[in-house]
Amino acid sequence: MSKSHDPWQDAMDHAVAVARKSGEMIREVVQNQDQSSLVQTKSSAVDLVTETDQKVERLIIQSVKSKFPSHRFIGEESVSSGEPCILTSDPTWIIDPIDGTTNFVHRYPFVGVCIGFAVNQQVEWGVVYSAIEDKMFTARRGRGAFCNGRPLQVSTQTDVHRSMVATEFGSDRDPQVVDKIFSSLHKVLSLPVHGVRGAGSAALNMCAVARGSVELYYETGVHVWDIAAASVIVTEAGGVLRDTTGGALDLMSRRIVAANNETIATRIIAELEVYSSERDDRAPDCEPE
Ligand SMILES: O=P([O-])([O-])O[C@@H]1[C@H](O)[C@H](O)[C@@H](O)[C@H](O)[C@H]1O
Ligand SMILES: [Mg+2]
């Protein structure tokens, strides 16, 4: 199929270009400005947003609207300001302008610009640009996953005792939630596993699974924009996606396990506390149109 007859490829090429431009904006701010005084909060005192998150999302959405006027959007900052968070069967761009906003605010060097693209509720391609590291992760369904053009492959490890696991503490400080986070962590650490890490970005943890640096990443409390783009990067690198219940991943459920293979996924899932956050498509500011 020639490129001109492949509109999803045109869209993906556009996403790579606009993610790179967004990354330049982010790097400029990290190098030259102090974000710590410009931070606002969202769902909790530690759920942060900055002017740069909003600017980058506007840049992405405006550039896409001018090229693909019929496409829909789910964007982290647009949903925050009341836009719906519904995944229809229409071509939909799912955008997290800065995944790892807390890292960004603290100049901790892992922030990802995430752009996923779903049609018929299936993610067709994903782009995650690790802006400070200058690493462009890309994948298209059925066509492999890449970092800066080099193919990605998950780890072949099947022994959980030789595995590295990634997770995050998230931004929910409800004591019951914090207890569950620590209970899962305690059980996973005590298996034992080689180590537990967290990049501070759901998407970059998933890219770490895709490139074979960690065997598994799990978290409850993520949003669709944190995981949509990276989901296809994981599966195209040979990995598997699950809900923390062990069932199929539901992009709106706010629970994810991304693993190198079924063996590791099943073994770690057995240790996880299952609890729920309010679904992305049910939140009060996410009512259907
Ligand atoms: O707010 P944000 O920086 O875009 O995204 C957050 C990051 O991915 C963080 O690592 C994860 O723990 C949270 O669940 C996400 O919401
Ligand atoms: Mg995010």
CA of 55 to the centre of ligand 2 (A): 15
CATH code, residues 3-151: 3.30.540.10
Q: CB under 6 Å to ligand 1: residues?
A: 76, 96, 99-101, 168, 170, 200-202, 219, 221-223, 226
Mean per-residue pLDDT, 205-234: 98
**Percent of the chain, pLDDT > 90?**
89
**In angstroms, what CA-CA distances link 219 with 144, 167, 169, 184, 196?**
25, 6, 8, 10, 13
Given CATH 1.10.1740.10, say whether it is the number of domain 160-269.
no
ipTM of predicted complex: 0.98
CA–CA gap between residue 60 and residue 55 (Å, rounded): 9
Judge whether residue 232 has pLDDT over 90: yes
pLDDT, tens digit, 9 for 90 and up, residues 38-77: 789 998 989 888 899 999 999 999 999 999 999 999 999 9
Judge whether residue 289 has pLDDT over 60: no
How, if at all, do strands 112-119 and 92-99 pair?
A: antiparallel
Q: Are 154 and 209 in contact (CB under 8 A)?
A: yes
Among protein residues, the one whose CA lies closest to atom 15 of ligand 1: 222
Among protein residues, the one whose CA lies closest to atom 12 of ligand 1: 170
Catalytic residues: 76, 96, 98-99, 101, 226
Query: What is the helix (H) or strand (E) element at residue 49, kind and residue range?
Result: strand 48-49
Q: Are 200 and 222 in contact (CB under 8 A)?
A: no
76 belongs to an annotated ligand binding site: yes
CA of 5 to the centre of ligand 2 (A): 33
Identify any residues that bridge with 137 across adjacent strands, giving them in sequence order: 128, 147
Of 41-45, 70-74, 155-159, 228-232, the poorest mean pLDDT is in 41-45
Q: Which atom of ligand 1 is nearest to the CA of 111?
A: 3
Q: Give ion ligand 2 contacts, CB < 5 A.
A: 96, 99, 226
What pLDDT shows up at residue 216? 99
Of 84-88, 275-279, 281-285, the poorest mean pLDDT is in 281-285
For a pocket test of ligand 1, which of 99, 217, 256 has the largest count of ligand atoms closer than 8 A to its C-beta? 99
Judge whether residue 13 has pLDDT over 60: yes
Of 1-10, 192-201, 228-237, 280-289, the poorest mean pLDDT is in 280-289
Domain boundaries, the chain: 3-151, 160-269
CA of 184 to the centre of ligand 2 (A): 22
Could you write out the DSSP letters of every residue in 93-161? EEEEEEE-HHHHHHT-S--EEEEEEEETTEEEEEEEEETTTTEEEEEETTS-EEETTEE--------GG
CA of 6 to the centre of ligand 1 (A): 32
Which ligand neighbours the alpha carbon of 170 most closely?
Answer: 1
Among protein residues, the one whose CA lies closest to atom 5 of ligand 1: 99
